[in-house]
Amino acid sequence: MKSIAFRFYNFFHRQVGFQIFGYFCNTLIDKSRHTAAIKNKALSLGFTSVGIAKATFLEEEAPKLEQWLQKGYQGEMQYLENHFDKRLDPRLLVADAKSVISLSYNYFPKTEQADASYKLAKYAYGQDYHQVLKAKLKELMDFVQKEVGAVSGRAFTDSAPILERAWAEKAGLGWNGKNSLLIQKQHGSFFFLAELILDLELESDLPFKTDHCGSCTQCIDACPTQAILPNNTVDGSKCISYFTIELKNELPAAEKGKFEDWMFGCDICQDVCPWNRFSTPHNEPLLDPHPDLLEMTKKDWEEITTEVFQKVFRKSAVKRTKYSGLTRNIKFLKD
């Protein structure tokens, strides 16, 4: 006959086991519910897609980033050399980070500039995307804290040392094309990327593993400055966007005649990408261009004044290059 002590021991462990099992099940249910709620809220805010990856060290990306920097592909963008460790580990940006939520936001315009005009990259048509997306990310973060409770985290959109495309790929949003941009089969590549890094454990999505560029080399062939290398890498120091936005000194004479009328940024590699035949116009009024912008001719741009610049680009990302930078670029294209 089993002793009372033995029976009590068995009873105690069964009860504790049931409690642990119940806690485990409830945790899984909460994680699933929180994940679904966050994704639904993100989509309701206008984000095109949302995926989640576990916040860990990007081991595969570390040697790639180091090699890219060693080859000088960053040009004079010295800020890309800073915070090397933070670029690879989100836990250095958010203490005890558990999840990286990656989001995409469409910016493909309804109407484009006339062919007989100096050109802006499409992302710069409307208001500064940093401000537009940060407002939506704040609303999403507020929702998380209301839905879950005490959650710490930070929101980013091209504003911190984060390898955005690597995280988006890990979260299943798409693949990195030969032009190094993230591409989605359903939407192409005309979208912004943003992130929420949280100390909340969520269900992770499967990473995107398939490269659907195949043998296509249209972006490589079309790049007039040969910035796109045949290994899914861009030499940033040769990119038209680098020259017209990042480079603060005089534009190099060796690049004369290669910019194909791009005065701020460049969309050539995206315009020729077959996947962008699936791009559809966005529904965000804040990203619509100033009415005057689409009407401006080359002559208008060549005669642009500081007053017109401030009027057309009052809340635009173009202000980054300033009036002096834009007129420098226009003069380079004209002469």
Asked whether residue 207 is domain-assigned, the answer is yes
Query: Which residues make beta-bridge pairs with 105?
Result: 192
CB 291 within 8 A of CB 79: no
Asked whether residue 168 is domain-assigned, the answer is yes
- Report yes or no on whether pTM surpasses 0.85: yes
- Per the structure, the complete domain to which residue 329 belongs is given by 33-335
Measured N-to-C along each axis, helices 4-44 and 129-148 cross at an angle, to the nearest 10 degrees, of: 150
pLDDT at 30 over 90: no
Q: Tokens standing for 186?
A: 């359903």
pLDDT-above-70 percentage for the chain: 92
Query: Which residues make beta-bridge pairs with 184?
Result: 188
Q: Which tens digit of pLDDT belongs to each residue from 94-140?
A: 999 999 999 999 999 999 998 889 999 999 999 999 999 999 999 99
Q: How far apart are CA 245 and CA 262, in angstroms?
A: 11
- Annotated active-site residue 158? The verdict is yes
Residue 198 phi/psi, 5° resolution? -125, 155
Q: Which residue in 158, 261, 288, 300 is the catalytic one?
A: 158
Asked whether residue 132 is domain-assigned, the answer is yes
What number is the average pLDDT over the span 241-253? 96
pLDDT band at residue 177, thresholds of 50, 70 and 90?
very high
Asked whether residue 90 is domain-assigned, the answer is yes
Asked whether residue 183 is domain-assigned, the answer is yes
What number is the average pLDDT over the span 60-77? 97
CB 127 within 8 A of CB 316: yes
pLDDT at 12 over 60: no
What number is the average pLDDT over the span 57-73? 97
Q: What is the pLDDT of residue 318?
A: 96
Query: In sequence order, which ranges of 223-273 are alpha helices (DSSP H)?
Result: 240-241, 268-271
Q: What is the pLDDT of residue 202?
A: 98
Distance between alpha carbon 334 and the CA centroid of its chain, in Å? 32
Identify which of 176, 185, 154 has the alpha carbon closest to the alpha carbon of residue 61. Answer: 176
Query: Which residues make beta-bridge pairs with 53?
Result: 100
Asked whether residue 13 is domain-assigned, the answer is no
Domain count, the chain: 1
Asked whether residue 9 is domain-assigned, the answer is no
Residue 319 phi/psi, 5° resolution? -60, -15
pLDDT band at residue 20, thresholds of 50, 70 and 90?
low
Asked whether residue 15 is domain-assigned, the answer is no
Q: What is the pLDDT of residue 115?
A: 86
Query: Which residues make beta-bridge pairs with 182?
Result: 176
For tokens 């790639």, name the residue: 64
Q: Tokens standing for 194?
A: 């943003």
To the nearest 10°, report the CA torsion of 14, 18, 20, 24.
Answer: 150
Q: Which tens digit of pLDDT belongs to each residue from 185-201?
A: 999 999 999 999 999 99
CB 58 within 8 A of CB 100: no
What number is the average pLDDT over the span 142-169? 95
